[in-house]
Amino acid sequence: MSEVQKFKVLIVDDEAPARNIIKVFLQNETDAELIDEASDGFEAVKKINHLKPDLVFLDIQMPKLTGFELLELLETKPEIIFVTAYDQYAVKAFELNAVDYILKPFNKERFHTALGKALERLKSDTKKGESTEKLIAYSRQTTENLQRIALKKGNQITVMDVENIFYIEAQDDYTMIYTQNERYLKHATMQYFEDKLDKDMFLRTHRSYIVNLKHIEKIELFEKDTRVVVMKNKALVKVGRTGYTVLKEKLSL
Amino acid sequence: MDHPILNKAWKLIVYILFWGLVGTFYVAVLKRYFQTEHGLSLTEGFLHAAVLGLLNIGTWYFIKFNRFEERSFFNVAFYFLISGIAILILWIASGWAMMQILTERSENYSAFFKTSFSLKIGTGTLLFFLFTLLYYVVIYYQKNKENLLRKAEMASSLNEMELANLKSQINPHFLFNSLNSISYQIIENPEEARESLVKLSDYFRYSLTKSEHTFSSLKDELDNVYRYLDVEKIRFGDKMQLEKTIEESCYAYQIPVMLLQPLFENCVKHGVYESSDTVTIRLDVSDQPDYFSIVIANNIDPDAKPKKGTSTGLNNVDRRLKLIYKRNDLLDIEKTGDSFKVRIRIPKPKQA
């Protein structure tokens, strides 16, 4: 018998019994082996980015970072099998995007159906993580106003209220998010933020800028006809002509 | 409300046909009983039918704003009379004026007008009554339909409320997650699994059989809370701790059934779920002269962001306390950066 390369599996769930049951079901599996487990979202992001597993069993409700938020912070794209107890919204999202998911509690048979499908995809090595990408796009589309945001800088993950954002700057496919003293790069478009951020708090003042009205100190004349917003931390943000009209309205000037 | 005749093309056509019929009938009467000549009969008959038809479309607006259920009977009767007379005058006068023009003020017509006057008054009054009646029927029918619709809506929203209530009693998150951990216990420790199932069943039996309006002793209520916490502890292990201090004398006091449950669920949902460190739930029950107080507190992870829908459980407790004890000073909430505390005071029954 030749030595078979086993696929690396990681389990993410905050409840020990829930992890254990997957561990038990994975025993004697010839194609897959468990390499590690994580009990919260932060730990999971670190481990997944570091160990680069092929397949992740991912719980959705976890402290601090949900399964969905976690996905956005991954540098590698493993196959994902979602594991959840009761979440009507999520189940609908999975079905629409053909992502594997299992509902707690589950039996060995259901578990192996999901595992089999994922392994098949890994073996054929095509469309890797494609359905997961679609799911991220879908959940970005359907969620209402963004309340909090998961950001990463090096190995440090921060989850914060969007009201702490000072302004957002376009950087090609990415956006740079500025807070009082920090900045974070995020893989998301300006359009996404414009749609998802509370319109009473945030305003797109310029093609490349979205500003948090709460943190504006003043508006200054920059050159003839152009203006800039001075933030409370003295940062300067460009204002376009239409942006200025709307800005005046919002600040009731 | 739309105009009951103008809102559909087919109704308008029927209406026009009806007045055509009235006109034909009138023409026939004129020729038979008044021996008027052919041309005059036709003009006189259809012109008057057309004018009265137009005027009676307007009758609707008068009926619509002159309803028995909104005004006094005499008021309605008075306006009814006035508008009837107004329509009659308008009809006869405009008919007369137009006929004057059409017949070029012929002497003949003036004579005929005098003889046909009472016929016109009779016909006009009759038709006015007829349409008034029709419009009242329409209004009554529409109101009835609206009422039925409203009743159906109310029934369905009531069903939704009951469903939401049931869901909150069952708490699907708790149920499915617990069953999942028990499914692991079955593999690892069947004896423990059986214990857990019994606890889970007892908990649900208690919460589903007691109605919202009954009372239970604090002892029974707390026993059910402990079952709930024991089942949650399978999932969270040592991450969840319970510390309690309870004055013995309080156990026998009566409290509303399942009053405390949402508060402990909040401790788990916002404390334990959202934290990666140990969360301790503190329960203190103390006996006071006029009341006894129940304090439920837990530490929360300062990093954890409060989730939406946090206050449903608390609002429910608040509402029930107000409803049952008719006082709004029984619930205190104290929230700091890293702790959450709820204090409930339950008045003791007055000694006889």
Which of these, A65, A70, B253, lies nearest to A56 by C-alpha position?
Answer: A70
A178-237, pLDDT tens digit by residue? 999 989 988 888 888 888 888 889 999 999 999 999 999 988 888 777 888 999 999 999
Give Cβ neighbours of residue B301 (< 8 Å, ≥ 6 apart): A63, A64, B274, B275, B276, B277, B279, B338
Mapped onto helix, strand or coil, the DSSP state of residue B180 is helix
The beta-carbon neighbor of B274 closest among A42, A64, A147 is A64
Q: Which helix (H) or strand (E) holds B246?
A: strand B240-246
| Below-50 pLDDT ranges, chain B | 352
Distances (CA, A) of B45 to A97, B39, B111, B125, B128: 73, 10, 16, 16, 17
Tell me how far apart the alpha carbons of residues B317 and B339 are, in angstroms, rounded to a whole number.
Answer: 19
Kindly list the residues from chain A whose CB atom is less than 8 angstroms away from the CB atom of residue B234: 17
Average pLDDT of span A127-144: 72
The strand pairing partners of A161, in sequence order, are A148
A1-30, pLDDT tens digit by residue? 445 678 999 999 999 999 999 999 999 888
Chain A interface includes B197 (CB < 8 A): no
CB-CB contact of B311 with A167 (8 Å): no
Q: How far is the alpha carbon of A111 from chain B, nearest alpha carbon, in Å?
A: 13
- Binary contact (A21, B187; C-beta < 8 A): yes
Give the CA dihedral B135, B137, B143, B149, nearest 10 degrees. -120
Residue given tokens 């005046």 in the structure block? A248
What pLDDT does A88 receive? 76
The beta-carbon neighbor of A85 closest among B173, B182, B304 is B173
**Which residue type is seen at A224?**
K
Give Cβ neighbours of residue B150 (< 8 Å, ≥ 6 apart): none
Which of these, A133, A205, A76, A246, lies nearest to A190 by C-alpha position?
Answer: A205
What pLDDT does A1 receive? 41
Specify the DSSP class assigned to residue B351.
P
Strands B254-256 and B215-217: antiparallel
- Choice among A144-153, A165-174, B86-95 with the minimum mean pLDDT: A144-153
Average confidence score pLDDT of chain A: 86
What pLDDT does A189 receive? 86
CB-CB contact of B324 with B255 (8 Å): no
Kindly list the residues from chain B whose CB atom is less than 8 angstroms away from the CB atom of residue A85: 172-173, 176-177, 180
What pLDDT does B307 receive? 58
- Whether the predicted pLDDT of A173 surpasses 70: yes
What pLDDT does A26 receive? 94
Tell me how far apart the alpha carbons of residues B298 and B276 are, in angstroms, rounded to a whole number.
Answer: 14
Mapped onto helix, strand or coil, the DSSP state of residue B72 is coil
Q: What is the residue-wise DSSP string for A132-184?
A: HHHHHHHHHHH--S--EEEEEETTEEEEEEGGG--EEEEETTEEEEE-SS-EE
Q: Judged by CB atoms within 8 Å, which residues 290-309 of B form the interface with A?
A: 301, 303-305, 308
- Whether the predicted pLDDT of A129 surpasses 70: no
Q: How far is the alpha carbon of B342 from chain A, nearest alpha carbon, in Å?
A: 22
What pLDDT does A107 receive? 93
What pLDDT does A4 receive? 65
Chain A interface includes B279 (CB < 8 A): no
Interface with chain A: mutation pick from B182, B188, B189, B235, highest number of A CBs within 10 Å: B235
Kindly list the residues from chain A whose CB atom is less than 8 angstroms away from the CB atom of residue B309: none
Q: Token pair for residue B336? A: 């700091």
The beta-carbon neighbor of B180 closest among A14, A105, A148 is A105
Q: How far is the alpha carbon of A147 from chain B, nearest alpha carbon, in Å?
A: 9
Q: Express as a percent the part of chain A with pLDDT over 90.
A: 35
pLDDT band at A47 (very low <50, low <70, confident <90, very high): very high
Total beta-carbon pairs less than 8 A apart between chain A and chain B: 71
B203-215, pLDDT tens digit by residue? 999 988 876 668 8
- Binary contact (A63, B180; C-beta < 8 A): no
- Binary contact (B308, A103; C-beta < 8 A): no
- Binary contact (A39, B305; C-beta < 8 A): no
Kindly list the residues from chain A whose CB atom is less than 8 angstroms away from the CB atom of residue B173: 61, 85-86
Q: Token pair for residue B329? A: 């000073």
